[in-house]
Amino acid sequence: MKTILYILYGGKSVEHEVSLKTAYTVIQSIDQGKFDVYPIYITQEGIWCSRGKLEETPNELHDLIIRPSHEHTAPSLGEVLTNVFSLEGPKVVLPLLHGSNGEDGTIQGLLELLDIPYVGNGVLSSALALDKVVSKELLAHAGISQAEYRTFTYVRWIQDLKGLIGCVQEEIGYPCYVKPASLGSSIGISRCKNETELREAIHAAFQYDRKIVVEKEVEGREIQVAVMGNEQPLVSIPGEFIQDKAFFDFNAKYVDGRLTMSIPAVIPETVTRQIQQTAKLAYRTLNCSGLARVDFFIDREGQLYLNEINTLPGFTKFSMYPIMWERTNGTTYSELIEKLIDYAFTRHLDNQTIQYTR
């Protein structure tokens, strides 16, 4: 019997487009001899749409967009649960929802209530990792070095902008980065070299969140590793994008198509081991499972700083995560997806041993 694979993509998020790119690449690579694929598209308004079982592999990205209609739109979430998720047989969900309402623990909570295995991190780890303020505090408590940073709330901005600016200038300095606390894909992030740019960046970041992070720039290199697994995670060889600009914005990551990867990154073996060990520590500190990409900075003196953990790294053709695993141990894209699905089933079975009565 084939396994039913529900693929959730789109979503009510500014990273909606990134999710579509990820879903397109994933669906192209699924072995339909092993899986019955049921794509479920969530519009930017939060409407769930499904055409049922995938009969034909999409030829282009636009084919994944399902227009809301009487035939394809669920009138309620209950309808989705009754008609889509109730099919008989082994089933698993692959949530490819980047950012808010998908990578923040919300969809994971729903799937936990439905008692359906799903790929990737659970409720707690998803919520922790997406919130840069909380994750930085936990990682610091674990003794993991990070770039100097300060966090601010929307209320602080409204009530004391002058004080906020002064704090950044005195304690962080320029250049610095301003980031929404709970977004990815470089959306809402700005590099600032002076007060004018800082004011504009703070205003822009608060369009996407009610908390922001301001970080000191680390001059050096950005190194990434892929992590996979549950209680005993595996870490890939490190990779690096060869930078031709100070900051990789959204267009550089997903539109231009000019990124050059160096995998493995050319760094000393001792640094590779330090990165891999720190990545495992960070993964466990945030209670991660399934997968994550962990990003680091190495400054000009060789000091290592953890930048962030991404619990749903991109799977587009420009993405590091699947390529790092292919270069590490020969795992193909399709094999990687199947391994992640196996981890989902393993975690779900482990959770079934928890006793809820006494």
Diameter of the chain measured on Cα atoms: 64
Helices marked H in the chain: 16-29, 77-83, 106-114, 123-130, 132-141, 154-159, 161-171, 195-205, 250-254, 269-285, 320-329, 333-351
Gyration radius from the chain CA atoms: 21
pLDDT of residue 152: 93
Question: CA 54 to CA 181: how far, in whole Å?
Answer: 36
pLDDT of residue 75: 57
Phi, psi of 77 (to 5 degrees): -65, -35
Q: Is the pLDDT of residue 186 over 90?
A: no
Region at 208 (left for phi over 0; alpha for psi -120 to 50; beta for the rest): alpha
pLDDT of residue 87: 85
Question: CA 283 to CA 125: how far, in whole Å?
Answer: 9
**Tens digits of per-residue pLDDT, 238-283?**
999 886 655 554 445 444 455 789 999 999 999 999 999 999 999 9
Q: Which residues contact 271 (CB under 8 A, 6 or more apart)?
A: 298, 302, 304
User: What residue type is 59 in one-letter code?
Assistant: N
Residue 354: pLDDT band (50, 70, 90) is: confident
**Tens digits of per-residue pLDDT, 49-98?**
888 899 988 888 888 998 777 666 665 667 777 777 888 899 999 999 98
Q: Is the pLDDT of residue 220 over 70?
A: yes
Do 163 and 171 touch, CB atoms closer than 8 A? no
Question: CA 97 to CA 113: how far, in whole Å?
Answer: 18
Of 85, 86, 88, 104, nearest to 12 by C-alpha is 104
Taking the CB of residue 146, how many other CB atoms lie within 10 A of it? 19
Q: Any idea what the Cα angle at residue 300 is, between residues 298 and 301, rounded to 5°?
A: 90
The average pLDDT across 147-153 equals 95
**Tens digits of per-residue pLDDT, 279-336?**
999 999 999 999 999 999 999 999 999 999 999 998 877 789 999 999 999 999 999 9
Q: Is the peptide bond before 39 cis (omega within 30 degrees of 0)?
A: no
The average pLDDT across 17-39 equals 93
Question: CA 157 to CA 260: how far, in whole Å?
Answer: 38
Do 26 and 337 touch, CB atoms closer than 8 A? yes
pTM: 0.89
Domain boundary assignment for the chain: 3-118, 148-216, 220-350
Report, at the CATH architecture level, how domain 148-216 is classified: 2-Layer Sandwich (3.30)
The average pLDDT across 13-17 equals 87
* Residue whose token pair is 């400054």: 299
pLDDT of residue 250: 47
Do 175 and 217 touch, CB atoms closer than 8 A? yes
What does each C-alpha distance from 108 to 55, 60, 123, 264, 305 come to in angstroms?
27, 28, 5, 33, 29
β-pairing, 220-229 with 290-299? antiparallel
Mean pLDDT estimate for the chain:
90
pLDDT of residue 26: 94
Percent helix / strand / coil, the chain, rounded to 5: 35, 25, 40
- CATH code, residues 3-118: 3.40.50.20
Percent of the chain with pLDDT over 90: 70
DSSP one-letter code for 118: B
Report, at the CATH architecture level, how domain 220-350 is classified: 2-Layer Sandwich (3.30)
Question: CA 180 to CA 293: how far, in whole Å?
Answer: 19
pLDDT of residue 356: 81
> What's the token pair of residue 84?
């889509």
